[in-house]
C-alpha cells in the first residue's frame, strides 16, 4: 500500500497508520499535544481553531469510548461534530462506503474520523478523496480491523514520554492478545520509530502473530521473564470472544499466566508504569489492585488521549 | 543581521519601566506573549514596584492565520497561575505591529475569565496597525520597512537585544 497520509510538502494530511510515519511527524504531534492538555483545566475548555468546520465521526463498528474522546477533542477545537453510526443505517440499505463518503462531502464535511472492522477502510477513503482532488478533506483512522489504531498508539507514546521522558533508554513490555490487537501493532511501530531499544511482547503462542519478531520485538511466553526490568508495562484487553474458540482454555487460566498482579509487577522496575487502552477486564488481564494502584497511569491515558486527538485534528485542519 | 536604526533594547526597557512605574496597579498581573513578551514580562515584574505575578500566553490556538499557515511546530503552554476573573492585567509584547497577536491574546484571556482591566505594554511600536489596537505603554516608536521583522533576542546572560531580519525568516510576531 502506498502511503497518502503526507502531502508533497511532507505535512500530515490524513492519519491512517503509524507504520512508515516519519519520527519527525510523530514527535511534532506529541509536542503539539502538550499545550492542549491544559485546555481541560480552563474555565472555557475550547479554542477556536476548527470553528466552522464539520467533523464526521463515521463509526462502522461501535466504540463508545473512542468515539466520545474524538467528539470531545473536536468540540474543544470548536468544530461541529456529527456522529454517524453507519452500522445501522446506510450500509444496511446497500450503499457503498465511498457513496456514503461522497454524500457526506456533499454536506460539506471537512474531516472524517473512521472506525471500521475492515482493515484499510480509512485508507480507501483517503485514496478516494485524493483521486478526486478533494485535498482539503482529511481522514483520521480511529481503528481499522486488526491493522492500525494510530491515535491510540500516539496517546500511548505521549503517556510514556510524559512519565519516562526519553524513549532511547526504555524497555517496554506489551502483554496479552498481540495477534488481534491493532493497538499493539500501532504502539510497536511508534516505539521502534522513536528509537526504543527494547520492545517486548508477552503472550501465549496462540495469541502472537506468526512473524512477530519481524516488527523488531523480543518475544516472551513467560510473564515473569518478560517483565524483568521493564520501565513500561502495557496490558491489552482480552476480548471474551477469544475464549470461545480454541485459542485459550479459560479466563481463570489466562489470569494465572498472563494477568498482571502485584507479584508479577514486582519483576519490573520499581518506578514502572502500567498502561491499558481500556476497557479493562478486571480479574482477566489485570488485577484490580494493580489497575487502581500507584503504578497505574490508565486514567491519565484517557485524559492525554483527548489532547493527542486535538493535536492531530488541528494539524490536519490547516493542511492542504 | 542588521541592527541599524533600532534603539538599544535594555535602554528602551528602562524607559518603558519609567513610564509604567507610577501608572501600573501594584497588584497587576503581568502576562507576556511568547516568546519575546514572556522575557519582558519577567523583567518588568522584577523592575516595577509592587508584587506582580507573571503569566505566559502562546496565542497559536487563537491566531487568525491558522487556516493559511497552520500551527507552528513548537506551541508553548499558556500558563496563567492566578485567577483571571477580576484581575488587572498588563499584557506584554516585544513588538506591536499589525495588532493581530494582541487581538488573539485578549481573546484567549477571556476564555480564562473576565478581567477587571487589560492594559498593553510593548517595547517597540513599529506602526502598521491592521486592527484598532493601541498600547497603553510604549518603550520606543520606530519606523522600519514593511519587508523586515523586528526581533527581540535574549542572550545567555539574560541581556536583551533588538535585531531586524527579513520578514518570513523570523518567528512570527
CB B150, CB B95: distance < 8 Å: yes
- Residue A26 and residue B17: Cα distance in Å, rounded? 43
Binary contact (A318, B73; C-beta < 8 A): no
- Does the distance separating the beta carbons of B71 and A32 come in below 8 Å? yes
Burial of B99 (0-12, 13-18, 19+ CB in 10 A): middle
Q: Which candidate, B10, B87, B86, B77, places its Cα nearest to that of B52?
A: B87
Q: A43–B78: do the CB atoms touch at under 8 Å?
A: no
* ∠ CA B74-B78-B79, rounded to 5°: 135
β-bridge partners, B124: B95, B140
Q: How many CA atoms lie within 13 A of A135 on its CB side?
A: 12
**Closest-CA residue in chain B for A43?**
B112
Q: How far is B78 from chain A (nearest CA, A)?
A: 7
A276 and A286 Cβ atoms separated by less than 8 Å: yes
pLDDT of residue B4: 59
Residue of chain A with shortest Cα separation from B75: A32
Inter-chain contact A48–B107, Cβ cutoff 8 Å? yes
Interface confidence (ipTM) of the complex = 0.86
In contact, B42 and B92? CB cutoff 8 Å: no
> Which residue intervals of chain A are DSSP H helices?
23-37, 64-76, 97-106, 121-131, 150-164, 182-193, 223-226, 241-244, 251-258, 262-265, 288-291, 298-317
Average pLDDT taken over every residue of chain B: 93
Of A11, A32, A48, the CB nearest to B62: A48
Say what the pLDDT of residue A319 is.
85
Quick check: A267 and A228 in contact, CB under 8 A? yes
Closest CA to A157 of A280, A53, A18: A18
What pLDDT is stored for residue A243 in this prediction? 65
Quick check: B78 and A35 in contact, CB under 8 A? Answer: yes
User: Which is nearest to A111 in space by CA: A81, A152, A131?
Assistant: A81
Each residue's pLDDT, cut to its tens digit, for chain A (320 residues) gives: 457 899 988 899 999 999 999 999 999 999 999 999 999 888 899 999 999 999 999 999 888 889 999 999 999 999 999 998 877 555 666 788 999 999 999 999 999 999 999 999 999 999 999 999 999 999 999 999 889 999 999 999 999 999 999 999 999 999 999 998 999 999 999 999 999 999 999 999 989 998 888 999 999 999 999 999 999 999 999 877 666 666 777 888 899 999 999 999 999 999 999 999 999 999 999 999 999 999 999 999 999 999 999 999 999 998 87
| Confidence at residue B173, expressed as pLDDT on a 0 to 100 scale | 39
The distance from CA B4 to its chain's CA centroid, rounded to whole angstroms, is 22
Close Cβ partners of A23 (under 8 Å, ≥ 6 residues apart): A193, A194, A195
Q: Contact A133/A191 with Cβ under 8 angstroms?
A: no
The Cα–Cα gap between A34 and A221 comes to 36
Q: Say what the pLDDT of residue A90 is.
A: 58
Contact between chains at A38 and B75 (C-beta distance less than 8 A): no
CB count in 10 Å sphere of residue A147: 22
Looking at B110-159, which runs of residues are DSSP E strands? 117-125, 137-141, 148-154
- Number of Cβ within 10 Å of residue B157's Cβ equals 5
The CA–CA distances, whole Å, from A114 to A74, A186, B142 equal 14, 16, 53
CB A79 within 8 A of CB A140: no
- Whether omega before A148 lies within 30 degrees of 0, making that bond cis, reads no
Q: Note the pLDDT of residue A4.
A: 84
- Per-residue pLDDT of chain B (173 residues), as tens digits, is 445 589 999 999 999 999 999 999 999 999 999 999 999 999 999 999 999 999 999 999 999 999 888 998 889 999 999 999 999 999 999 999 999 999 999 999 999 999 999 999 999 999 999 999 999 999 999 999 999 999 999 999 999 999 999 887 544 43
Rg of chain A (C-alpha set): 19
Instruction: Name the strands in the sheet holding A54-59, side by side, starting at the edge strand that comes first in the sequence.
Output: A80-85, A54-59, A111-116, A138-144
Nearest CB among A35, A49, A314 relative to B77 is that of A35
Q: DSSP class of residue A140? A: E
> Could A35 and B68 be called an inter-chain contact, meaning their C-beta atoms sit closer than 8 Å?
no
Chain B: give the shortest CA distance to residue A310, in Å.
Answer: 11
**Do A31 and B61 lie within an 8 Å CB cutoff?**
no
Picking from B71, B75, B84, the nearest residue to A318 by CB comes out as: B71
Residues of B in contact with A11 (CB under 8 A): 70
Cβ A318–B70 below 8 Å, yes or no? Answer: yes
What pLDDT is stored for residue B170 in this prediction? 44
Residue A1 is predicted with a pLDDT of 44
3-state SS of B31-66 is: EEECCHHHHHHHHHHHHCCCCCCEEEECHHHHCCCH
> How many Å apart are CA A57 and CA B115, to the nearest integer?
37
Do residues A104 and A80 lie in contact, with contact meaning Cβ atoms separated by under 8 Å?
A: no
Contact between A177 and A240 (Cβ < 8 Å): no
Residues in chain B with CB shorter than 8 Å from the CB of A48 are 61-62, 107
Amino acid at each position: 500500500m502506498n502511503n497518502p497520509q503526507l502531502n508533497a510538502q511532507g505535512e500530515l494530511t490524513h492519519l491512517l497508520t503509524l507504520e512508515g510515519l516519519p519520527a519527525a511527524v510523530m514527535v511534532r504531534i506529541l509536542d503539539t499535544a502538550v499545550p492542549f492538555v491544559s485546555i481541560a483545566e480552563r474555565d472555557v475548555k475550547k479554542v477556536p481553531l476548527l470553528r466552522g468546520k464539520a467533523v464526521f465521526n463515521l463509526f462502522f463498528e461501535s466504540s463508545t469510548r473512542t468515539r466520545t474522546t474524538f467528539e470531545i477533542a473536536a468540540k474543544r477545537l470548536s468544530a461541529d461534530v456529527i456522529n454517524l453510526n453507519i452500522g445501522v443505517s446506510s450500509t444496511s440499505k446497500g450503499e457503498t462506503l465511498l457513496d456514503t463518503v461522497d454524500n457526506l462531502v456533499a454536506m460539506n464535511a471537512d474531516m472524517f474520523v473512521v472506525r471500521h472492522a475492515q482493515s484499510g477502510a480509512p485508507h480507501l477513503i483517503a485514496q478516494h478523496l485524493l483521486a478526486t482532488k478533494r485535498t482539503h478533506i482529511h481522514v483520521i483512522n480511529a481503528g481499522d480491523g486488526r491493522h492500525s489504531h494510530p491515535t491510540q498508539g500516539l496517546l500511548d507514546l505521549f503517556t510514556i514520554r510524559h512519565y519516562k521522558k526519553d524513549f532511547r533508554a526504555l524497555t517496554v513490555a506489551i502483554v496479552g492478545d498481540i495477534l488481534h490487537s491493532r493497538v499493539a501493532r500501532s504502539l510497536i511501530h511508534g516505539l521502534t520509530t522513536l528509537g526504543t531499544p527494547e520492545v517486548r511482547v508477552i503472550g501465549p503462542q496462540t495469541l502472537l502473530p506468526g512473524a512477530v519478531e519481524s516488527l523488531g520485538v523480543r518475544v516472551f511466553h513467560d510473564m515473569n521473564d518478560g517483565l524483568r526490568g521493564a520501565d513500561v508495562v502495557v496490558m491489552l484487553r482480552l476480548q471474551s470472544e477469544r475464549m470461545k474458540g480454541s485459542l485459550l482454555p479459560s479466563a481463570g487460566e489466562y489470569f494465572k499466566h498472563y494477568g498482571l498482579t502485584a507479584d508479577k509487577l514486582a519483576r519490573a522496575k520499581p518506578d514502572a508504569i502500567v498502561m491499558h487502552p481500556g476497557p479493562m477486564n478486571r480479574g482477566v488481564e489485570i488485577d484490580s489492585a494493580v489497575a487502581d494502584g500507584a503504578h497505574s497511569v490508565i486514567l491519565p491515558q484517557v485524559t492525554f488521549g483527548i489532547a493527542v486527538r486535538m493535536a492531530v485534528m488541528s494539524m490536519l485542519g490547516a493542511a492542504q | 543581521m542588521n541592527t541599524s536604526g533600532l534603539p538599544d533594547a535594555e535602554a528602551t526597557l528602562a524607559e518603558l519601566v519609567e513610564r509604567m512605574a507610577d501608572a501600573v496597579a501594584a497588584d497587576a498581573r503581568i502576562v507576556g506573549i511568547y516568546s519575546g513578551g514572556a522575557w519582558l514580562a519577567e523583567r518588568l515584574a522584577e523592575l516595577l514596584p509592587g508584587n506582580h505575578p507573571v503569566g505566559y500566553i502562546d496565542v497559536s490556538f487563537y491566531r487568525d492565520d491558522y487556516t493559511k499557515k497552520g500551527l507552528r511546530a513548537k506551541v508553548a503552554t499558556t500558563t496563567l497561575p492566578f485567577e483571571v476573573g477580576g484581575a488587572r492585567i498588563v499584557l506584554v509584547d516585544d513588538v506591536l505591529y499589525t495588532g493581530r497577536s494582541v487581538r488573539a491574546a485578549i481573546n484567549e484571556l477571556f476564555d480564562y475569565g473576565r478581567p477587571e482591566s487589560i492594559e498593553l505594554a510593548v517595547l517597540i511600536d513599529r506602526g502598521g496597525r491592521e486592527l484598532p489596537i493601541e498600547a497603553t505603554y510604549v518603550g520606543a516608536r520606530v519606523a522600519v520597512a514593511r519587508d523586515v521583522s523586528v526581533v527581540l533576542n535574549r542572550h545567555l546572560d539574560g541581556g536583551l537585544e533588538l535585531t531586524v531580519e527579513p520578514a518570513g525568516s523570523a518567528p512570527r510576531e
